[in-house]
């Protein structure tokens, strides 16, 4: 086997070991701070209430940073060896420390939510809280929706065996399903839901179709349970919204919008803009069908890879991949390319294909040293290359914020994919400029073309289905047949005739509908993708001034709402559908280019 030279990372520069005195000392410090925090709680009703609140805020600020650092280190230790029992045990202990810390913080949160404006502003006047203004103001947005302390505590207590339990039931249910799967050679294998889902991206249509049919079979068997779970979760949320509407109306979208720091108008206009462009997604799907030799894609083809078109890419070594990424990043700015080299030189990337490593890829980092880390498993594929670029984009996002107050670096999900997807786009465009044959260029463009219906059609299907369900759930429960009917109708509304049949049981097989926190785990994906394309369009418009624009925008992602961010940096209004026009222009270019190249084969 070729030596792909995949590196392992260095994280022991943060702590020498899991059982090191340095790590233990910081954990003890967190526990001491947590105890001090709880000891101050009675002072929230005393004469020095303001001073007490400020002291509690400062204690929590220090403790949360240290605890975050400890949890990052332990998680990273375990991610390279899932059999590391010491890391697993410490992670569980740290989670208990986190619960204790948050319990001590609850009374402070309640105080700040119920405080009048003058008291709240006086609280923020403490000089050591100057870097926490946005953090507390953002939390206080919901102060008119807070319930009395006794009810909030009761709600928290009931959630574990109520609302959270329904989400756990889905996890346990899907984790226990076994399906007798037949491979192409006639051999049989028992697969779970995760195994069936992974086969939807197989290069073999036979395997994809059988996996799709298998998923329909198992979820038809368990459709009553899945329907009960969705009904219960939606019912809980709707009842909670009603309870929180004691002063101002609370909609079922209020919480997810707040978590993503977006206004309803921004979401509505984005969905309207995407809906007006669904024909572009249909065109992309038609081109994908053409590649497969079909008139229309079948529902088991939506995650399929590009078939072999006569171009085979040899395995790529990790150093060679880093050269490509650094060169691509240099087209944005040399300091961005230098950052990629720094990640490599400092051993901040773990790509070694180890036996007990966490699957997938992610970017993490340390709150104290402000140094990022990237994990993936390197097999030398082009997909690996794009994944590496994606995670390095995340790392660059955190790197440009490394000198900022930590609380101002916590950006929402709607903006989380900004730098990562932009990095992917930069690398793909660089690779296109270096490619020679149509087949090679098609292989690079396939992912861009596939992204058009993924973010422009499939994600909106999820959002519109969930929204319609919640609107109807206020008056009645849904049967499995109701869910299938609503999903089929929503699917046809967005996909039209571009796919042979709707995936009627998508509501049961898609995990995102069953995540307890947050709800509507869908629209931020489309927002993030489109926003990254808006940034790429801005690069062409601004030229040499782009990099300063880009880094300034990234630095603001954790300290202002989406609307303010767009207004400040784009001088545009994201609550208008026209903001997204340049994004669709770029997406149209991808589809045009792919169609032209396909005609050359």
Euclidean distance between CA atoms 400 and 288, whole angstroms: 38
Q: Read off the pLDDT of each residue in 264-277 and give the average, rounded to a whole number.
A: 98
Whether the predicted pLDDT of 2 surpasses 80 = no
pLDDT, position 43:
94
* Predicted structure pTM score: 0.92
Tokens 């590496």 belong to residue: 388
Euclidean distance between CA atoms 275 and 279, whole angstroms: 9
pLDDT, position 311:
59
Q: Read off the pLDDT of each residue in 50-77 and give the average, rounded to a whole number.
A: 97
What count of Cα atoms within 13 Å lies in the side-chain half-sphere of residue 227? Answer: 19
What stretch(es) of the chain map to CATH 1.20.140.70? 21-147
For 3, 7, 388, the CA distances from 428, given in Å and listed in that order, are 25, 23, 12
Whether the predicted pLDDT of 99 surpasses 90 = no
Euclidean distance between CA atoms 535 and 419, whole angstroms: 9
Euclidean distance between CA atoms 103 and 502, whole angstroms: 46
Of 537, 531, 568, 515, the C-alpha closest to 266 is 531
Second-level CATH architecture of 21-147: Up-down Bundle (1.20)
Per DSSP, the chain holds a count of helices (H) and strands (E) of 26, 5
Where residue 160 falls among pLDDT bands split at 50, 70, 90?
confident
Euclidean distance between CA atoms 183 and 210, whole angstroms: 9
Whether the predicted pLDDT of 89 surpasses 90 = yes
Beta strands at 372-375 and 349-350: parallel, antiparallel or unpaired: parallel
What is the rounded average pLDDT for all residues in the chain? 94
Q: Check residue 261 and give left, alpha or beta (phi > 0: left; psi -120 to 50: alpha).
A: left
Instruction: Return the number of other C-beta atoms located less than 10 Å from residue 275's C-beta.
Output: 15
Listing DSSP states for 143-173 in one string gives GGGPPPHHHHHHHHHHHHHTHHHHHHHHHHH
Euclidean distance between CA atoms 423 and 539, whole angstroms: 12
- 3-state helix/strand/coil string of 475-510: CCCCCHHHHHHHHHHHHHHHHCCCECCCCCCHHHHC
Identify the bridge partners of residue 365 per DSSP, sorted by sequence position.
372
Task: Give the SS3 label for residue 403.
Answer: coil
Where residue 285 falls among pLDDT bands split at 50, 70, 90?
very high
Of 396, 404, 529, 508, the C-alpha closest to 459 is 529
Q: Check residue 571 and give left, alpha or beta (phi > 0: left; psi -120 to 50: alpha).
A: left
Of 324, 323, 294, the C-alpha closest to 307 is 294
Instruction: Assign domain 276-310+437-600 one CATH number from 1.10.1370.20, 3.40.50.2000, 3.40.50.150, 3.20.20.80.
Output: 1.10.1370.20
Whether the predicted pLDDT of 359 surpasses 70 = yes
User: Are residues 374 and 348 in contact, defined by beta-carbon separation less than 8 angstroms?
Assistant: yes
Range scoring the smallest mean pLDDT among 8-17, 260-269, 310-319, 334-343? 310-319
Q: Check residue 10 and give left, alpha or beta (phi > 0: left; psi -120 to 50: alpha).
A: beta
Euclidean distance between CA atoms 167 and 24, whole angstroms: 34
Mind listing the pLDDT tens digit for each residue in 300-345?
Answer: 999 999 987 765 678 899 999 999 999 999 999 999 999 999 999 9
CA 183 to chain centre: 33
pLDDT, position 358:
84
The b/e string for 440-469 (b: 16+ C-beta within 10 A; e otherwise) is bbbbbbbbbbbbbbbbbbbbbbbbbbbbeb
For 263, 466, 550, 578, the CA distances from 270, given in Å and listed in that order, are 11, 17, 22, 9
Residue 94, both tokens: 């740290």
Whether the predicted pLDDT of 221 surpasses 90 = yes
Where residue 371 falls among pLDDT bands split at 50, 70, 90?
very high
Range scoring the smallest mean pLDDT among 260-269, 434-443, 465-474? 434-443
Q: Read off the pLDDT of each residue in 12-17 and give the average, rounded to a whole number.
A: 96
Task: Give the SS3 label for residue 19.
Answer: coil
Of 445, 388, 426, 375, the C-alpha closest to 550 is 426
Cis, peptide link before residue 518, omega less than 30° from 0: yes
pLDDT, position 354:
82
Mind listing the pLDDT tens digit for each residue in 389-402?
Answer: 999 999 999 999 99
Instruction: Return the number of other C-beta atoms located less than 10 Å from residue 474's C-beta.
Output: 13
Task: Give the SS3 label for residue 43.
Answer: helix
Residue 558, both tokens: 């954790």
Task: Give the SS3 label for residue 402.
Answer: coil
What stretch(es) of the chain map to CATH 1.10.1370.20? 276-310+437-600
Where residue 47 falls among pLDDT bands split at 50, 70, 90?
confident
pLDDT, position 308:
79
Please give the radius of gyration of the chain, using alpha carbons only, rounded to the nearest integer: 25
Phi and psi torsions of 140, nearest 5°: -75, -10
Mind listing the pLDDT tens digit for each residue in 168-218?
Answer: 999 899 989 999 999 999 999 999 998 999 899 999 999 999 999 999 999
Where residue 1 falls among pLDDT bands split at 50, 70, 90?
very low
Whether the predicted pLDDT of 226 surpasses 80 = yes
Residue 27, both tokens: 């954990």
Q: Read off the pLDDT of each residue in 528-549 and give the average, rounded to a whole number.
A: 95
Euclidean distance between CA atoms 541 and 230, whole angstroms: 46
Q: Read off the pLDDT of each residue in 115-122 and give the average, rounded to a whole number.
A: 95
Euclidean distance between CA atoms 288 and 284, whole angstroms: 6
Instruction: Return the number of other C-beta atoms located less than 10 Å from residue 564's C-beta.
Output: 13
Whether the predicted pLDDT of 286 surpasses 60 = yes
């Amino acid at each position: 086997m070729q030596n792909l030279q995949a590196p392992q990372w260095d994280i022991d520069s943060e702590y020498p070991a899991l059982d090191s005195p340095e790590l233990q000392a910081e954990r003890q410090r967190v526990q001491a701070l947590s105890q001090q925090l709880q000891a101050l709680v009675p002072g929230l009703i005393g004469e020095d209430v303001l001073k007490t609140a400020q002291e509690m805020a400062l204690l929590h600020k220090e403790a949360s940073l240290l605890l975050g650092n400890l949890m990052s280190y332990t998680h990273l230790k375990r991610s390279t060896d899932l059999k590391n029992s010491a890391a697993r045990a410490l992670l569980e202990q740290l989670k208990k420390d986190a619960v204790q810390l948050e319990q001590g913080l609850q009374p402070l949160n309640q105080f700040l939510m119920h405080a009048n404006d003058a008291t709240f502003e006086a609280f923020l006047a403490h000089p050591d809280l100057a870097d926490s203004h946005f953090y507390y103001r953002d939390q206080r947005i919901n102060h008119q929706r807070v319930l009395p302390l006794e009810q909030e505590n009761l709600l928290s207590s009931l959630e574990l065996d109520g609302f959270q339990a329904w989400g756990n039931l889905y996890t346990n249910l899907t984790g226990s399903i076994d399906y007798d799967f037949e491979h192409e050679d006639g051999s049989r294998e028992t697969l779970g839901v995760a195994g069936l889902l992974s086969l939807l991206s197989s290069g073999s249509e036979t395997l994809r179709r059988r996996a799709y049919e298998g998923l329909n079979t198992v979820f038809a068997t368990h459709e009553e349970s899945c329907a009960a779970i969705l009904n219960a979760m939606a019912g809980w949320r709707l009842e909670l919204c009603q309870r929180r509407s004691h002063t101002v109306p609370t909609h079922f979208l209020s919480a997810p919008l707040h978590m993503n720091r977006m206004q309803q108008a921004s979401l509505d206009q984005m969905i309207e803009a995407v809906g007006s462009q669904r024909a572009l997604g249909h065109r992309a799907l038609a081109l994908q069908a053409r590649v497969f030799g079909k008139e229309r894609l079948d529902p088991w083809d939506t995650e399929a890879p590009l078939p072999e078109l006569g171009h085979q890419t040899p395995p790529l070594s990790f150093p060679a991949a880093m050269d490509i990424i650094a060169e691509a990043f240099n087209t944005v700015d040399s300091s961005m390319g230098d950052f990629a080299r720094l990640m490599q030189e400092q051993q901040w990337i773990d790509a070694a294909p180890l036996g007990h490593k966490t699957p997938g890829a992610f970017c993490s980092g340390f709150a104290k040293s402000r140094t990022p880390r990237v994990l993936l498993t390197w097999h030398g594929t082009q997909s690996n290359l794009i994944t590496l670029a994606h995670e390095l984009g995340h790392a660059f996002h955190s790197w440009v914020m490394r000198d900022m107050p930590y609380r101002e670096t916590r950006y929402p999900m709607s903006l989380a994919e900004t730098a990562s997807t932009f990095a992917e786009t930069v690398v793909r465009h660089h690779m296109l400029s270096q490619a020679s044959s149509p087949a090679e260029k098609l292989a690079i463009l396939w992912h861009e073309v596939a992204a058009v219906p993924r973010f422009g059609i499939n994600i909106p299907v999820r959002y519109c289905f969930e929204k319609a369900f919640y609107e109807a759930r206020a008056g009645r429960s849904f049967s499995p047949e109701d869910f299938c009917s609503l999903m089929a109708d929503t699917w046809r509304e967005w996909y039209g005739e571009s796919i042979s049949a709707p995936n009627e049981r998508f509501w049961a097989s898609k995990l995102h509908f069953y995540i307890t926190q947050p709800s509507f785990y869908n629209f931020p994906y489309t927002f993030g993708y489109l926003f990254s394309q808006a940034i790429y369009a801005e690069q062409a418009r601004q030229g040499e001034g782009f990099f300063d624009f880009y880094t300034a925008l990234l630095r603001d992602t954790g300290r202002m709402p989406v609307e303010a961010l767009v207004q400040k940096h784009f001088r545009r209004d994201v609550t208008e559908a026209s903001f997204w026009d340049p994004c669709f222009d770029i997406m149209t270019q991808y589809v045009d280019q792919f169609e032209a190249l396909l005609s050359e084969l």
